[in-house]
Amino acid sequence: MEWTRVIDPVGQAATSAFPLYAAFPWAAFRILAERTRVSEELLISICQDMEKAKRYLLSYTQQSQALTYGEIVQAINDLHRTILRYLSQVILICDANPARRIYHSIFLPRILKRTAGEIDRLLHDIECQIQSNHEKEQRRHEEVNRIFQSICNPRYEEGFQWLKDQRFKCTGHWIFKHQQFQNWVTTKKGLVLWIYGILGAGKSVLTSQIIERLQGNQDTVVYFFSGNGPARWDLRSIIQCFVAQLAVIDQKNIPRKLLEAFRRSQETGGRVELFSVDTWEQFLAEMLLKQPKPFLVIDGLDAFNLTLQSDLLGLITKLRNKCNQLRVLVSSRESQNIRSRLKDKLCIDLSTLDRSDEERAVIQAKFDSVNTISDKDRAFFIDKIMQKSHGQPEGFCLPAF
């Protein structure tokens, strides 16, 4: 019978989800269908329900879906037990004694009909709960977006996107093979990595490339680029930016105190109440602790005034004391203030690296975008520019790399 093709995958999913029941022969269901006379309409109905059951059971066995089904586990388990209970009845049909087989087969259509009705009811319950969960998540997502809008300038991503657009695909990959970077990423305990170099050495674009790689690995990354947003930042607004990003990344771990304050503000039509810097630090630490491998990135630390530089470096120390798995990336020009605080951390000095191949590739790519120059002149200009190259070709307007 054609409809029996859908049965085996359901049985495999059911028995793999609960190995204890692996002894139940799912294939017996097919034997049952072939040996008994059941109405075609009932079989078609069961076939459709089994397709749905297969979908839910297969999803349930996938660990990535476990949280999605967190509130409907009971219904899924009931569905699974119903199918297995029916399988136990099937075993009786396969009894070696012909008389017993005939006896049990008499009651089979009734058992099948009752089981089909129970499966149909359970599937309906599961679908209703999934729909309810979806609506609940949608409302929560909308609320988180409103929180995000109220505590942080949502334009922080523009700087990151602009840097990604400026980056040439042929450059920057060396960073992922650098020993200091690998130590920073792979060590179990969180470390600080400081990347520094002269103006135009490509620090910010390199930082954006690191962020993109970490995000591609499904790691939790929050970042701040000093060149984005108001000309004058303060510590509170930067921490709020980190908190807002974490709220979007992990909506279930927004601190209750912050969530309640936001809801009160919605009732009064105002903004979220003005918590102290210490309270915002506490929110940030709590949210970072909920992440298995969090990364925090500050680009352009040298662009801030000395007071804010010290405040941010102090914040890094406090966060790492509370969250020892936190990995921090700082990029900046070299300065006495920053060096004195980061001298014992992992460091990459861009001025000590031979990146002439990358410089040539960037210049070549820039010239390739201009079709009005001959190959001979292009090669001549590239060689001349390379002779003066110091991180970024002198006197030649190129994006950082």
Asked whether residue 309 falls in the same domain as residue 243, the answer is yes
pLDDT for 282 equals: 94
Q: How far apart are CA 186 and CA 195, in angstroms?
A: 17
In a domain, 148, yes or no: no
What is the tens place of the pLDDT at every residue in 287-319?
999 999 999 999 999 989 999 999 999 999 999
State yes or no: pLDDT of 230 exceeds 60. Answer: no
State yes or no: pLDDT of 40 exceeds 70. Answer: no
State yes or no: pLDDT of 277 exceeds 80. Answer: yes
At 348, give phi and psi (nearest 5°): -130, 115
What is the tens place of the pLDDT at every residue in 58-79?
555 444 444 444 556 666 667 6
State yes or no: pLDDT of 210 exceeds 60. Answer: yes
CA distance to 174, 213, 231, per residue, from 330 (Å): 18, 16, 19
Residue pair 363/387 in contact (Cβ under 8 Å)? The answer is no
Q: What integer is the mean pLDDT of 148-159? A: 61
Q: Can you give the pTM of this predicted structure?
A: 0.60
Q: How far apart are CA 346 and CA 181, in angstroms?
A: 8
- Biggest distance spanned by C-alpha atoms of the chain: 98
Q: How far apart are CA 334 and CA 309, in angstroms?
A: 13
Asked whether residue 244 falls in the same domain as residue 335, the answer is yes
pLDDT for 399 equals: 41
Q: Which of 351, 366, 393 is the last residue of a domain?
A: 351
Asked whether residue 192 falls in the same domain as residue 327, the answer is yes
Q: How far apart are CA 356 and CA 389, in angstroms?
A: 8
Rg from Cα positions in the chain:
31
State yes or no: pLDDT of 384 exceeds 70. Answer: no
Residue pair 287/246 in contact (Cβ under 8 Å)? The answer is yes
> Which residue, 11, 45, 13, is CA-closest to 31?
11
Q: How far apart are CA 109 and CA 66, in angstroms?
A: 35
> Which residue, 312, 369, 361, is CA-closest to 337?
312
Q: How far apart are CA 295 and CA 74, in angstroms?
A: 36
Tokens of 48: 């459709």
State yes or no: pLDDT of 130 exceeds 80. Answer: no
In a domain, 149, yes or no: no
Q: How far apart are CA 206 and CA 204, in angstroms?
A: 5
Residue type, 265: S
Q: What integer is the mean pLDDT of 140-148? A: 66
Asked whether residue 94 falls in the same domain as residue 237, the answer is no
pLDDT for 155 equals: 60
Asked whether residue 65 falls in the same domain as residue 131, the answer is yes
Domain count along the chain: 3
Higher-confidence position of 255 and 375: 255
In a domain, 338, yes or no: yes
What is the tens place of the pLDDT at every residue in 154-207?
466 666 667 766 666 767 788 999 999 999 999 888 899 999 998 878 888 889
Q: At what angle do helices 277-289 and 306-322 cross, to 10 degrees?
A: 40
pLDDT for 23 equals: 36
Asked whether residue 129 falls in the same domain as residue 116, the answer is yes
Asked whether residue 318 falls in the same domain as residue 189, the answer is yes
Neighbours of 81 (CB within 10 A): 14
Order across the sheet with 192-196: list the strands.
Answer: 220-225, 294-299, 327-332, 192-196, 346-349
Asked whether residue 327 falls in the same domain as residue 186, the answer is yes
State yes or no: pLDDT of 49 exceeds 80. Answer: no
Residue range of the domain that includes 303: 155-351
Look up the CATH number of the domain holding residue 169: 3.40.50.300
Q: At what angle do helices 235-249 and 108-151 cross, to 10 degrees?
A: 170
Q: Is 155 helix (H, G, I), strand (E, B) or coil?
A: coil
pLDDT for 117 equals: 73
pLDDT band at 284 (very low <50, low <70, confident <90, very high): very high
Q: Is 203 helix (H, G, I), strand (E, B) or coil?
A: helix
Q: What integer is the mean pLDDT of 362-373? A: 66
In a domain, 150, yes or no: no
Q: Which of 143, 178, 208 is the last residue of a domain?
A: 143
Q: Which of 83, 108, 143 is the last residue of a domain?
A: 143
- Please enumerate in sequence order all residues whose Cβ is within 8 A of that of 180, keeping only pairs 6 or more positions apart, or say none: 193, 346, 347, 348
